[in-house]
């Protein structure tokens, strides 16, 4: 799972950065499909680990984990593939503001002023 997280978190990081910069988004469909196929049909419980190499790593791995959980929930609800795809893609971008905010604000301990 850790190797999968590391690779796909990097892909998600690139997708989000390209969207912010107005560049073409490559890999969105493939990554969405991979997550749905790998996690959307699980019948057994799954444990999440998150080894972080940097603070920036937290954002992309968290986003990936949200997409995985979204896929698992959509699977439990027996949603159609089109709906699953929309939901997982939305999960990639739900927290995109963390890519735009200054790092010292995202990881600040205590209240923001």
Write out pLDDT tens, residues 67-103: 999 999 999 999 999 999 999 999 999 889 888 888 7
pLDDT of residue 55: 64
For residue 58, is pLDDT > 90?
Answer: no
Residue 59: other Cβ atoms inside 10 A: 23
Query: Tokens 């972080």 — which residue?
Result: 52
CA distance 67 to 77: 15
**Residue 95 DSSP class:** T
């Amino acid at each position: 799972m850790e190797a999968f997280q590391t690779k796909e978190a990097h892909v998600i990081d690139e997708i989000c950065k390209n969207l912010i910069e107005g560049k073409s988004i490559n890999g969105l469909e493939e990554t969405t499909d991979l997550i749905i196929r790998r996690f959307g049909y699980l019948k057994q419980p799954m444990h999440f680990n998150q080894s972080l190499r940097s603070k920036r790593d937290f954002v992309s791995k968290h986003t990936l984990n949200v997409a995985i959980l979204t896929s698992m929930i959509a699977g439990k609800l027996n949603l159609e593939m089109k709906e699953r795809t929309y939901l997982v893609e939305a999960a990639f971008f739900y927290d995109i503001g963390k890519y735009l905010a200054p790092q010292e604000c995202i990881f600040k301990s205590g209240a923001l002023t």
